[in-house]
Amino acid sequence: MSAQEETSRETLIERALVTQDTARAMALLRETPLDDVFRQDAIGRICRTYDAPDMLHFLIDEMKTPVDPVRLAFLQNSTCSKGLFGNTAYLSHLYIRAGGAAEDVASNVIRHFSTENIVAFADQVAAWGTARDEILSALLKSCISRSVIETGIANVMVGLDNITALANAGAKPANVDDARDILRMFAILCVNGYPFQAIGRAPAHALHKKMVGICAGAHMRALDDCTAEYFRLLHDIGLSETAGECREIAEAYLSAGADPFDCKDRLAEILPRVFNTAADGDEKEKERVEDETDLRVRKAQAAYTARHVAVFDAVFGDDFSIADLRGRADFDGNANGDTGLTLAARARRLDIVLQRAAAGDEKLAAEDLASTSSSGRTLASLALSRGDFGVLMAPADWLAQDDKVFEKMPIALDVAEMQHTEYKMAAAALGQASLRQHKPSAGLKLKPKGPQT
């Protein structure tokens, strides 16, 4: 092709691009694949002026025009700010495919697109080949991050609409850290009262419970971590006019499976403040509140334990060995990723486990105390939170097996847990039993010391 003919072909293609006749532009480019500089310019022109994702796909993927991640991010931001929906979806897919973070593109979309288009955007990106769950999760996290820093009820209401739409579309946190961030941010919103003011009491409850549910489903560790943190937030703000709403959501955390043994201290602090509607000097009312608090905590703990007893009995029954309990427990809905040992601790069946160990050839070892569920809880930690640590560490079971077991306890408990009274009592009991076991026999009495001079 002569230079004149090539110039004429470029003019025809440019005219087709200007008039948005993408079908003709593609046909001409297939006949004459012009150089990289021309194609790069065409990509920029489309991104600046009109929505033509198929044309971008043709130029970049079919004609193999290289676009590095930095330029992809720039182009995606540009098309997003102009409201070019299709271009944004395709460029977002390319950016993620090139190794970029889904959160980067999601944050732009949240700023510029309507609630309806946010979910549609996820579907469009998925149609190009990016995992729908990945982009939905990134959009959900970006929505909540933005809502936390927004000011004004109108802006918060938009954020809540986006969160609701994404949750209804099936958005879930991608990992335990995202789940934890989502729950923490939503808790901050709620303790500030914004959802109740923005969308009303019942919808705010329903949305928060939904968020708890989707985060708990696959990431129980986040739920356990954030339940205690949520209660701390309630305690710190003083509860004021949102007391009833906050209590109801706190109970939603427990209903979703949060461990009430871990947060019992926070519950004991908060529930009296929620239920106490009488004057401070009313002693009878204070007693009633204390009784109701204690009842609610104990009921939550009993229900949690009962659920795990049923599972433990169904999985292991009466025919199990210590070796059977060391592996991951095989049952549907094992959101905690429990081993048989940690499941036994949740079910408060450690007495039976130790009886079985005493009767059999295989004993518990120090390493078993660090048996860890995927939610991050160890056997020793679960026993301590339930008041069962003394049962787990009974001297009769450990004297012959490993009387130095407490020296190895840092593999199973953190520093704060080792300051617990029950821990110290169990350590002292084993130490005293060990001394008694190794004291000199009656025939080798120690010579008493003479009087001091």
What whole-number distance in Å separates Cα of residue 224 and Cα of residue 137?
20
Beta-carbon neighbour count of residue 273 at 10 Å? 17
DSSP 8-state code for residue 446 = P
Share of the chain above pLDDT 90, in %: 31
Q: How confident is the model at residue 293 (pLDDT cuts 50, 70, 90)?
A: low
DSSP string, 205-230: HHHHHHHHHHHHHH-HHHHHHHHHHH
Beta-carbon neighbour count of residue 26 at 10 Å? 19
Question: What are the backbone angles phi and psi of residue 277, rounded to the nearest 5°?
Answer: -105, -5
Q: Residue 279: its pLDDT value, please?
A: 44
E strand spans, 264-413: none
**Does residue 255 or residue 452 have the better pLDDT?**
255
Q: Residue 232: its pLDDT value, please?
A: 56
196 has a pLDDT exceeding 70: no
What whole-number distance in Å separates Cα of residue 26 and Cα of residue 439?
93
**Most confident of the ranges 87-91, 191-195, 251-255, 355-359:** 87-91
Beta-carbon contacts of residue 310 (< 8 Å; ≥ 6 apart) = none
Task: Please state the rounded mean pLDDT for residues 222-240.
Answer: 54
Tens-digit pLDDT profile for residues 200-212: 767 777 777 777 7
Beta-carbon contacts of residue 383 (< 8 Å; ≥ 6 apart) = 345, 350, 389, 391, 392
What whole-number distance in Å separates Cα of residue 301 and Cα of residue 295?
10
Q: Residue 71: its pLDDT value, please?
A: 93
Closest listed residue to residue 90, CA positions, set 76, 78, 100, 104: 76
Q: Residue 426: its pLDDT value, please?
A: 94
Q: Which residues pair with 339 in a beta bridge?
A: 328
Mean pLDDT, the chain, integer: 79
Q: Which residues pair with 328 in a beta bridge?
A: 339
**Does residue 246 or residue 419 have the better pLDDT?**
419
242 has a pLDDT exceeding 60: no
What whole-number distance in Å separates Cα of residue 429 and Cα of residue 432?
5
Write down the pTM of the prediction.
0.60
* Range in 114-123, 172-181, 401-410 with the lowest mean pLDDT: 172-181
Q: Residue 335: its pLDDT value, please?
A: 61
Cα dist from 369 to 114, 318, 373, 389, 412, whole Å: 52, 22, 12, 11, 6
Q: Residue 286: its pLDDT value, please?
A: 65
237 has a pLDDT exceeding 50: no
Dihedral sign, Cα of residue 265, residue 267, residue 268, residue 273: positive
Contact criterion met (CB below 8 Å) for 56 and 62: no
Per the structure block, which two tokens stand in for 280? Answer: 């401070």
Task: Please state the rounded mean pLDDT for residues 246-261.
Answer: 71
194 has a pLDDT exceeding 70: no
Per the structure block, which two tokens stand in for 162? Answer: 């986006």
Name the burial class of residue 407, with classes exposed (0-12), middle (13-18) and buried (19+) by CB atoms within 10 angstroms of its CB: exposed
Q: Residue 453: its pLDDT value, please?
A: 46
Cα dist from 226 to 232, 233, 442, whole Å: 9, 10, 57
What whole-number distance in Å separates Cα of residue 381 and Cα of residue 370?
8
279 conformational bin, left if phi > 0, alpha if psi -120 to 50, beta if neither: beta
